């Protein structure tokens, strides 16, 4: 059972890092630090968008508009850690 929990924890941690990388890359593109027309940057950005957008889009529809500030990655990270801790408590309690 601990191997499954370890895998679950590792997948959540990996997805959190992907969310952070996606947010940082979007900031770098917006502030013209990296060129979005570069094929490597474009392919990394496309990968990050395809992995994160299906989960972030429903959150963005629910959250109120904060005037250009996107807090959906932060909310998703908090939800992921909450779910992780909840699963660990349920397993430890049984």
What residues does each domain of the chain span?
Answer: 2-93
Those residues whose C-beta lies under 8 Å from the C-beta of residue 75, and which sit 6 or more positions away, are 59, 63
Q: What is the pLDDT of residues 37-53, one digit of tens each?
A: 999 999 999 999 999 99
Percent of the chain with pLDDT over 70: 99
* Tokens 């490597």 belong to residue: 40
Q: What is the dihedral of CA 13, 10, 34, 76, to 10 degrees?
A: -30
| Termini Cα distance of the chain | 12
Instruction: Give the pLDDT band (50/70/90) at residue 57.
Output: very high
Measured between alpha carbons, how far is 52 from 22 in angstroms, rounded to an integer? 8
Report the pLDDT averaged over residues 17-35. Answer: 96
| Residues 93, 3 contacting (CB under 8 angstroms) | no
- Span 69-81, mean pLDDT? 95
Query: What pTM did the predictor assign?
Result: 0.91
Q: What is the pLDDT confidence band of residue 71, given thresholds at 50, 70 and 90? A: very high
Per-residue pLDDT, 94: 64
């Amino acid at each position: 059972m601990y191997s499954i929990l370890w895998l679950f924890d590792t997948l959540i941690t990996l997805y959190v890092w992907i969310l952070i990388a996606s947010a940082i890359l979007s900031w770098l593109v917006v502030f013209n630090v990296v060129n979005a027309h570069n094929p490597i940057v474009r392919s990394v950005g496309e990968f990050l968008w395809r992995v994160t957008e299906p989960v972030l889009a429903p959150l963005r529809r629910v959250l109120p508009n904060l005037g250009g500030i996107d807090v959906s990655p932060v909310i998703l990270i908090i939800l992921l850690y909450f779910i992780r801790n909840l699963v660990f408590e349920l397993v430890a309690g049984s």
